[in-house]
Amino acid sequence: MDIDTLYALRSSSGLPSHPAVFLILLVLTWALHMIAVHVMLGSTALALTGAFAANAHWRRLGSAMLDTAKVAVSLAIVIGVAPLLFVQVIYDPFWYVSNVLSARWAIGFIVVLLVAYWAMYHHYFVGKEGSSGSSRWSLALSLILLLAAGFIMHVLASQALRPELWMAWYAPDGHLETSGAGIHEFNLARFSFFIALAAPVTGAWLLGYRRYLAHREDENPEYLDWIAGLGRKLMTGGGFVVLICYAMWMATLQDTAGNFPLSLWSFLANGAILLLILAPALFRSPSGSYGAFATAAGAVLLVAVAREALRHRILGGAHGYELSTYTIHFDWYSNALFCLTFVGLGGFAIAYSIAISWEAGKTKGLYTASPRVDRLGKFALAALCIWIAQYFFFGFLVMAQ
């Protein structure tokens, strides 16, 4: 695909701000999406193991992780919207072509997610306590479908990196193929790499969970040590699996990636994986640690940076696609609205959700929110009301012009 055609596929409305702003936001929000995805996959896998296990520790952890999984799946989906918007803004020719080529899968993605969500809740409502019944299988179905949703995302991301093959996929032997039913490109090593990262990230989550439970007076110390041991094993063992997947991904990279495996970015990704492997040695406190999870989040961010550098190497280096050539129609209102929404609305709402779950988890019996958390909730609600009011105010103002 020549560069003029690629540029012609861009939205003619241009960008409301500099492309670098969207690029940074894309990387940041994608890293957040993946942290939620990793916790979601890891906690679902632990909940599933617990549902089938006879061991009391496993059953208890499985039940607790089901609560984590329910929240993480919502966060993964909600946060996933942000990189979806940014990728559409600065990589629109690639993302839309990829979606159209596999349109049925892109739409089917939503159905897959709906069923995965439903299946997880089915297990939650029907079988959480005495998880010996058939609802355990619906949790297994949920995990499989969540992985399938991730695979669809992987296919869409991979096809977007192959402009040179689009015509062959769209018109094989000169005949148009407009069904959108095909899956044209994937790399199992790359997909496995992103999925395997769930093991060390969940291991770090368990170390944080161990620390969180340390405040409870009546906790069983044997259970707490067991959680910490499991978390460490997942971080180190899972980290090695991630390293192998990364090496396999690099060995099977497409030609247009050039010498990316030897680039600084690739070393950065390797460094991030080593950090995950070594984190249990860095945070050795027997009562667990929140630092391990912060380290894991940092490692995922470094991986996100390297992944973006690879996209730039392929689309910029091999195809000559430059983000800097976007037309910019600077729009103060939408820039300010985005930042204020992100910080003001999202900030308060997320802080409130975290604060209330944090307090509730530490309370025995019936939980009543503390005055501080209550105030935070009122701020979050007020921010939402102000947001809705300004939305209609500016909407009517524009219509009246």
Which residues are near ligand HEM by CB under 6 A? 30, 33, 37, 76-77, 80-81, 83-84, 87, 113, 146, 149-150, 153-154, 157-158, 160, 190-191, 194
Q: What does each C-alpha distance from 279 to 77, 147, 296, 327 come to in angstroms?
A: 28, 26, 8, 44
Per DSSP, the chain holds a count of helices (H) and strands (E) of 15, 0
Cβ nearer to ligand HEM, comparing 228 with 303: 303
Q: How far is the CB of 360 from ligand HEM (least distance, A)?
A: 25
Least Å distance between CB 309 and ligand HEM?
A: 13
In the complex with ligand HEM, the residue whose CB is nearer, 194 or 326, is 194
Residue nearest to ligand HEM (CB): 80
Least distance between ligand HEM and beta carbon 112 (Å)? 9
Q: Are 283 and 295 spatial neighbours (Cβ–Cβ below 8 Å)? A: yes
Of 213 and 304, nearer to ligand HEM (C-beta) is 304
CA angle 190, 241, 34 (to 5 degrees): 50
The rounded distance, in Å, linking the Cα atoms of 401 and 395 is: 10
Query: Residue 19, exposed/middle/buried by CB under 10 A (0-12, 13-18, 19+)?
Result: middle
CB of 308 to ligand HEM, least distance (A): 8
Q: Toward ligand HEM, which CB reaches closer, 287 or 341?
A: 341
**Measured from the CB atom, is 45 or 227 closer to ligand HEM?**
45
- Smallest gap from residue 37 Cβ to ligand HEM (A): 5
- 323 and 317 Cβ atoms separated by less than 8 Å: no
DSSP conformational letter for 62: H
Structure tokens belonging to residue 67 = 């609560």
Residues 6+ apart with CB under 8 A from 355: 372, 373, 376
Cβ proximity to ligand HEM, 153 vs 373, nearer residue: 153
How far apart (Å, rounded) are the C-alpha atoms in residues 242 and 276? 10
The string of DSSP letters for 198-214 reads HHHHHHHHHHHHHHHHT
Nearer to ligand HEM, 148 or 345 (CB): 148
CB of 307 to ligand HEM, least distance (A): 6
Start-to-end CA span in the chain (Å): 42
CB of 75 to ligand HEM, least distance (A): 10
